[in-house]
Structure 1
């Protein structure tokens, strides 16, 4: 009796597993088939490969790219590592090249890693536009994004304008291996180097994460307790810096300047916990990158360097900035 019951249970479980395998297998096949069918219906198939998909800054770039894709009848994919990971980024880029898409938008984070792949894509007839971070020694056709050296220089000038007396500066940067981060640091250094009252005490890496920025700030303060100012070169660095200051040194008031108008950064700016933000224009980057790929596929030759604006905003500028960029930061109205 027990054997018959066990056999019955086995058959039942096998049947359920087989049904689920067939059901989800069919769904997966259907999704892949649908994606390919959709791509064929539209003029071009482009892919945007961000530094990390789960990032508010890159979501704004994606928003711009999707709105341009809709306008130009482009099938757009948004594929990349969930968290910043050079190896995963390179693997996805290589996979999309093998998939023979019509155009690729990606960062040029590291010349050693990205230049060979960008050149490989070009060899296969795939147009490449770099976004946010350039690969100038590759054969990429267009760069759309911030002049990162100039943006770093602006940050240094802002520090000089907003402070008086001796300043000991700690720098938190996203990644040591990222070309655009290095340019932001170098621009800042060059802006302040002739001022004897400015001393750069040290620089730590955040790994493009809030927890990493917290640790980097903590380490800087531990090694250099006399720090009076902080400069963050990536979007999440300011959050980490402000968090450490509020917990470790709530009675101190260091000068803090950081990159990018994420909602949390703007809240900190409004509350006076951050002094200035280096503004980039990620929506415009995404929108123009798609436009440039469309131009390239039509056989046109747009300018190779398409710099988007960067500027400094302070607390007094915030309301006007939000008004000018209505729709990008929690408002559903069209920003364009």
Structure 2
């Protein structure tokens, strides 16, 4: 066989192999496309895309709220996207930035925990005017154009706190309030809670609020604020805390300085550490919110708004009071 004939045979074989390979590739592509179509036809696209903006995922409260939102989203056939500020040192700026991103992204709705009412109110208004409904979870901006608030009744919450203070110190309440940074900085929501406390305390001549301190994120800061209360306000005999971390930290400080009974804690939240301090007598009672119900109701409210159903401006989610004697009341 001459060289020219050999080259011709090699070319023919190569061509045949190439054609067979191309045919196989086409077959596989068609098969993959068919399987892909079958997969896509079996998955319904989400009806809506909502964004949830929370200040943090630290702690059981926000974790449980988000977990319930995700579960409800699957049941309601909607997509939810969680956003948390990149830095806990700038909750105000971080939350505002995320709200603006959500507006520009044209999501179908936003569930928001308000970290600063003054800063967020104009952004909430702008978002609503852009056709995107905003609902607030637990922390509110009532003067804004938000569509609905889902959470605790602030005035009733304050009244309950005042009642617990009087039960803890029946001979006279000299209270300190330790406000978490997660509460809205503007006066509206916190002032309603405080007004409810004062309304309860007016029934006793010696019942007064003697101090109000703001705690920032973290155990060390909460312990320092609790220590300040014990040393700078020695007349204080009951401390109300607005977060789980603050509650445990304040109880630890009271235990460290052996002032059980002399200073009682009215707390927020519940876990084994709080139960231990309740058993030891440092915490008189704690307010237990229902983050799962708040999260689920919030998502249902957004879906209701998008489907033109009536959604109340306020949807109150009742909590419970857990006392040291393990008595629970609605």
**1:28-177 → structure 2 map (5 Å cutoff):** 41-81=45-85, 83=88, 85-175=91-181, 177=185
Rg larger for: 2
The residue matched to 2:275 in structure 1 has which SS? helix
1:204 deviates by 0.9
| Mapped partners of 2:286, 2:260: distance in 1 | 22
Deviations 1:134-177 (A, max 9, x none): 11111111111011221121010112133321332222111371
1:285 deviates by 0.3
Q: Which is further off, 91-100 or 250-259?
A: 250-259
For structure 2, which runs of at least 5 residues remain unmatched after alignment? 1-39
| Mapped partners of 1:304, 1:149: distance in 2 | 16
| Mapped partners of 1:251, 1:137: distance in 2 | 42
The residue matched to 1:169 in structure 2 has which SS? strand
Partner in structure 1 of residue 26 of structure 2: none
Relative to structure 1, the CA distance from residue 182 to residue 40 in structure 2 (aligned partners, 3 Å threshold; closer, same or farther) is: farther
Of residues 266, 270, 282 in structure 2, which corresponds to 1:261? 270
User: Does residue 217 of structure 1 match 2:219?
Assistant: no
| Mapped partners of 1:242, 1:206: distance in 2 | 15
| Mapped partners of 2:118, 2:229: distance in 1 | 29
Contact 1:109 / 1:177 at 8 angstroms: preserved in 2? Answer: yes
1:217 deviates by 1.1
| Mapped partners of 1:306, 1:290: distance in 2 | 12
Contact 1:147 / 1:308 at 8 angstroms: preserved in 2? Answer: yes
Contact 1:155 / 1:312 at 8 angstroms: preserved in 2? Answer: no
1:216 deviates by 1.2
Q: TM-score, length-normalised on structure 2?
A: 0.78
**Aligned-residue RMSD, C-alpha:** 2.5
Q: TM-score, length-normalised on structure 1?
A: 0.77
| Mapped partners of 2:218, 2:155: distance in 1 | 22
| Mapped partners of 1:270, 1:76: distance in 2 | 40
For structure 1, which runs of at least 5 residues remain unmatched after alignment? 1-36, 325-336
| Mapped partners of 2:190, 2:54: distance in 1 | 15
User: Does residue 285 of structure 1 match 2:267?
Assistant: no
- In the alignment of these two chains, the number of paired residues is 284
